[in-house]
Chain A
Amino acid sequence: MPLEIRSLSKTLGDFHLRDVNLTINDGEYFIILGPSGAGKTILLETIAGIHRPDNGRIFLDDTDITDTPARLRHIGMVYQDYMLFPHLTIEKNIGFGLKQQGVHPEEIKRLTGEIASLLEITHLLPRDPETLSGGEQQRVAIARALIIRPRVLLLDEPLSALDAITRRRMRNELSHLPSLTGVSIIHITHHAEDLVSLGTRSAVMDEGAIVQMGHPDEIFQNPQTPFVAAFTGMENLLPGIAGTSHEGKIIKVGNVRIHAISHHTGPVIFGIRSEDLIFSREPLRSSARNVLQAKVTKIRLMGSLAWVMVDCGFSLTGVLTVQSLFELGIDDGDMVYITFKASAVMVFPDEKWDKKELSLETRDDT
C-alpha cells in the first residue's frame, strides 16, 4: 500500500489535525469530505511534506517519510486555485519538476509533450497561465504534478472553482486518472456529490478529525454521526427523547411520538431523509408506522423538484417532484399527511450536536 498515515496530529494557527489514521491503496481514488475549516488542506500539506507533523508518522511504500523533505517525497499536489507559476509559460510550468531533477531540456520537451497529449492540452503549451480558463488551468496543474511520476496525487478542492458543466466533465476525467497513470489519489472536497461519483473509499472529516470512513454508499446510507448525516444531505435532523412504550420503540418530540428502530434511549438526535417522506391528501393505508398530519409552511421549487416544509408539531422538509406537487394540489398552508417508515428514522445518541452550526453546502452545485 503506497500511503499510510498513523496518528497524525498538527496544530497550525486556528487549524488542528487530531489523530488522523488513513491508508490509501495502490491506484485508489480516496475522497475526504468535510466542511471548510475542517483541516483538510493542512492534512494534504502535511502529507506532501510542507508542514512537519506534531505527532504521528507517514509511510510511503512502507518507508517512513515523516522527516523526508517535500522535494524528495514524490507526492504531487494540485490546489483549488491551481497555482500555475504566472511568470512561466504552460510548457515551462509542466516541465518545472523535471528541470529540478536536472533532466536534459530536449528530454523535458519530449516528456512535457507526452503528458500534454495525454491530458489533451498540447495546444496550450506556448500560452501564459492567465489566458487559460479554469478547466484548462486545472489540466495543466495536474500535468505539472503528474510529470514527476508521483506515487500519490493530492487534490485540494479541485472542482470547486469550475462551472457546473466543466465540473461534471472534469469529475469524469479525474476518475480515470488512477487507471491511466497508476497514481493513487487523495481528493478533498466539501461537495457530497464528488463523494458519490468519484470515490472508491472515503472519509468524512470534521474539526481536524476523521469521523467516519468507508465506501461512499455506506457513508450515505449509514452515517455514524448527525454531522455526517447532515453533511451528506440529510435535511431533517431533530432532537428528541428515545424510549420504549407499549407500541415499541418510540421517540418523543414534544407531544408527537415517532416510531423508530433503535437501541438508544434518552436524549437522541434523529434524522429522516427528505426523500423518505411520502405526501398525501388522505391518511395512507400502508405498512409504514409513522403517519402524521402536518401543515405546509413553505414550498421551494428547484428545477423539477419541490422542497416542501411542513409543521407536524416540529418542522420537517420533504421532497417530491413538481409534477406530484401539482397532482396532489399541495399549496402553502394546506393540511397534508406525511408517511414514513420506522426504518427510515436514523437515531444517534445526542452529544453536543444541538450547539453545532452547519452550513449545508452539499446541494448547491447540482
Chain B
Amino acid sequence: MKRKSRFLACSWFKGSLIILSAALILFFCLVFAGLVLWPEPRALIDALTSEEILFAIELSLVTSLISTLLCAVIALPVAYALSRYQFFSSRLMGLIISLPLSLPPLVAGIALLIFFGPSFFGELLRTIGIDIVYTTGAIIIAQFFVNVPYLIRVMRSAFDSVNPRYEYVARTLGASEPGVFLQVSLPMSKQALLAGLTITWSKAMGEFGAVLMLAGATKMKTETLPIALYLNISTGDLDMAIASATILLAISVGTLIIFEHWFGSRKMM
C-alpha cells in the first residue's frame, strides 16, 4: 500500500520522464542482448574460434596496440606544447589538429589513400621501396590518423588543468624542462592519460571507415574485426558477422567500465 501511494504522490511530469528513461534503457538492453543471443550458442562459439575470427582478433589487437602507442608518443608532446607554449596561432593549430575528430572516417581514409597512393609523396615513398596502401601498415596509419586528435585533446585539457605554479616550483628546485614534464606535469595527468589511452585503443579496435579506404578489405590479410564483420555480412555469413560484433561489444563494455572507474562521473569527451 505504502509503495503505491508513494508512486501516486510523484508528479505526472517526473513519472513520465522516468518511464521514458526506463523504456530507452530497456530498448538498448534488448538490442544488445538480441545480437548476442540471436545465433545458436554452438554456432557462435564455432564462429568465435574459427581461423578467420582468430586472425581478425590478432590483427586488430596488434594494429590497435601499435597505433595506440604511436598516438601516445605523438600526442603527449604535442598536447603539452599546445597547452604551454604560444606558437604560430595556437588556436588555428588546435583547429587543424582537431579536424579529423569531426571528419567522417571515410573522408579521412580517402584523403590518406590519395596521400599515400597516387600523390607525389606516395610516389616518393614507393621509389624508396615503401608501399603503405592495402597493407597492415595502412591499418595502423589509418587508426593513428583518426585517433591521435582525440588523445591530443584529452591530454591538452589535462595539461591545462595542471596549475603552472607546480612547474614553477619544480624549476626553482632545480628541475630541467624535460624533468618538469616527466616528473610533474605528466604524473599529475596520469589519470587522463590512462583513460585517454583506453578509449584510444578501443576506438582503434573498432575503426572501420578509414581502415577500409586505406587498407582495403582483403580476407585474411587486412581483415580486422570490423572488416570481418563487414565482409561476412556482405556474403551473408551472419554467425561470423555476429561473432566479430560480439567481441567488439565486449571490448566496448570493458573500456567503458575501466573509463568510468578512472574518471567516475567526470566526462572527458
Contacts and interface: CB of A to CB of B under 8 A. Distances in A.
Interface of A: 45, 48-50, 69-73, 75-77, 79, 81, 83, 85-87, 96-97, 100-101, 144-145, 148
Contacts of B170: 85, 96
B125 interface: no
A73 B165 contact: no
Contacts of B172: 48-50, 70-71, 73, 75-77, 145
Contact of B188 (A50, A72, A87, A148): A87
A85 B165 contact: no
Interface string B167-190: 011111111100100011001101
A56 B176 CA distance: 25
B102 interface: no
B166 interface: yes
Given A48-B168, A48-B172, 6 more contacts: A83-B168, A85-B187, A85-B188, A144-B173, A145-B173, A148-B174
B234 interface: no
Contacts of B190: 87
Given A83-B163, A86-B188, A71 B169 contact: no
A72 B166 CA distance: 17
B183 to A, nearest CB: 8
Contact of B176 (A45, A71, A145, A148): A71
A81 B168 CA distance: 13
A276 to B, nearest CB: 42
Interface residues on B, range: 10 to 19
Scoring A69, A71, A76, A81 by chain B CB atoms within 10 A of each residue's CB, the highest score goes to A71
A228 B131 CA distance: 74
Interface string B2-28: 000000000000000000000000000
Contact of A100 (B165, B173, B188): B173
Nearest to A92: B183
Nearest to A48: B172
A41 to B, nearest CB: 9
Contacts of A100: 173-176, 179
B166 A85 contact: yes
Nearest to B188: A87
Q: Which of B168, B169, B175, B176 has the most CB of A within 10 A?
A: B169
B188 A83 contact: no
A85 B188 CA distance: 8
Nearest to A86: B188
A96 B182 CA distance: 13
Interface centre among B165, B171, B174 (most CB of A within 10 A): B174
A73 B172 CA distance: 7
B189 to A, nearest CB: 10
Given A83-B163, A87-B188, A101 B168 contact: no
Given A71-B176, A100-B179, A85 B184 contact: yes
Contacts of A96: 170, 173, 175, 183
Contact of A97 (B163, B168, B173, B188): B173
B250 to A, nearest CB: 33
A350 B183 CA distance: 53
Contacts of B173: 71, 76, 96-97, 100, 144-145, 148
Contacts of A75: 172
A100 B173 CA distance: 7
Interface in B105-158: none
9 contacts: A49-B172, A70-B171, A87-B187, A96-B183, A97-B173, A97-B174, A144-B169, A145-B172, A148-B173
Given A85-B184, A85-B188, A77 B175 contact: no
5 A-B pairs with least C-beta separation? A100-B174, A97-B173, A70-B171, A87-B187, A77-B172
Nearest to B164: A50
A112 to B, nearest CB: 13
Contacts of A145: 172-173
B169 A77 contact: yes
Given A83-B165, A83-B166, A71 B188 contact: no
Nearest to B176: A71
Contacts of A69: 171
B191 to A, nearest CB: 10
B166 A50 contact: no
Contacts of A79: 165, 169
A226 to B, nearest CB: 33
A69 B179 CA distance: 14
Contacts of B168: 45, 48, 50, 70, 77, 83
B123 to A, nearest CB: 46
B147 to A, nearest CB: 26
A63 to B, nearest CB: 17
A76 B188 CA distance: 22
Contacts of B175: 71, 96, 100
Contacts of A81: 165
A101 B174 contact: yes
> Which among A50, A73, A86 has the greatest number of chain B C-beta atoms within 10 A?
A50
Contacts of B174: 71-72, 97, 100-101, 148
